[in-house]
Amino acid sequence: MNKSVLSIIFVFSFAFAQAQSDKTLVRQGNKSYQDNNFADAEINYRKALDKNPNSLSGTFNLADAIYEQEDYEKSSELFAKIGQADLSKEQKGKAYYNLGNSLLKAKQYEKSIEAYKMALRNNPEDEEARYNLDYARKMLKQQQDQNKDQNKNKQDKKDQNKDQQKDQEKNKNKDQDQKKDQQDKKDQDQNQENKQDNQNDQGKTEQQMNDQKSKQISKKDAERMLEALKNNEKKTLEKLKKGKKVSAKVVKKEKDW
């Protein structure tokens, strides 16, 4: 009988120790958190959740520790998970408020706006959520204006590059036209020069032919002149011969006298 009682007491004592262990780890995590040692706090909160995965304080504080280490994506996941749990409106309001802060830090302004709205739906008296909601709206407008300006600058730069390409293409075509004109002029000058050379060659050929013809004519004339001279010489000789005969007769007569 005493043994059974001792067994029951031991079982309850062990269960009590297990129940207290996750809370102890959460308290240790809270101490590290207050000392700004967020990495150690995270370790203790995770250990607490290993002991009790349903620990709301362990999950909530773990998300806070991760938020302080600027891992806003992970902290957003945890706060969103808490907000979807079956909790009181006040607890949901806090979860969505912290979710809004994580999303705001991540510059996801539209999602942060929705988170703050959810925080106010669960806790309309949360003035901090209302203030952050207005701030998130201003940041969203500023982001949209910046994106608009960036898109405009990109479009302006794109149009400018397009105009530059057109100018480059225009200048390229102009250079090609100039080169073509220069080549055409060069070809024209070359053709003119070739034509002039042909004319000169033709003139030289004609001159040579004329000279040759002239030489040929001169040769014929020379032959004619030579023939004429021969004929004239023959006639002259004949005349001389006749003249000698006459003279001889006269002389003879004078001798006779």
Q: Domain total for the chain?
A: 3
| CB atoms closer than 10 angstroms to residue 224 | 10
Q: Which residues contact 255 (CB under 8 A, 6 or more apart)?
A: none
Q: How far apart are CA 77 and CA 26, in angstroms?
A: 20
Overall average pLDDT of the 197-214 stretch: 64
Which residue, of 40, 69, 98, is where some domain finishes? Answer: 69
Tell whether 255 and 207 lie within a shared domain.
yes
Domain extent, residue 234, equals 202-257
pLDDT exceeds cutoff 70 at 100: yes
Assign residue 99 the CATH number of its domain: 1.25.40.10
Burial class (CB in 10 A: 0-12, 13-18, 19+), 20: exposed
> Which structure tokens are listed for 85?
């749990």
What mean pLDDT, rounded, does the chain reach? 80
pLDDT exceeds cutoff 80 at 212: no
Q: What percent of the chain has pLDDT over 70?
A: 71
pLDDT tens for each residue of 122-158: 999 999 999 999 999 999 999 999 998 888 888 888 8
HSE toward the beta carbon, residue 42, CA cutoff 13 A: 16
Q: 197 in a domain, yes or no?
A: no
Q: Which of 106-110, 126-130, 238-242 has the lowest mean pLDDT?
A: 238-242
Tell whether 138 and 91 lie within a shared domain.
yes
pLDDT exceeds cutoff 80 at 89: yes
Q: Note the pLDDT of residue 15.
A: 45
Overall average pLDDT of the 109-118 stretch: 97
Which residue, of 21, 39, 69, is where some domain finishes? Answer: 69
Q: Which of 81-95, 156-170, 214-228 has the lowest mean pLDDT?
A: 214-228
Q: Which of 121-125, 172-176, 215-219 has the lowest mean pLDDT?
A: 215-219
pLDDT exceeds cutoff 70 at 12: no
Q: Note the pLDDT of residue 182.
A: 84
Tell whether 209 and 253 lie within a shared domain.
yes
Q: 137 in a domain, yes or no?
A: yes
Radius of gyration of the chain (CA): 63
Which residue, of 143, 170, 193, is where some domain finishes? Answer: 143
More confident residue, 110 or 171: 110
Q: How far apart are CA 75 and CA 77, in angstroms?
A: 5
Going from the C-alpha of 251 to that of each of 30, 237, 242, 245, 257, the distances in angstroms are 182, 20, 14, 10, 10
Q: Note the pLDDT of residue 249.
A: 42
In contact, 41 and 65? CB cutoff 8 Å = yes
**CA angle, residues 38, 83, 100, in degrees to nearest 5:** 65
- DSSP letter at 210 equals H
pLDDT exceeds cutoff 80 at 200: no
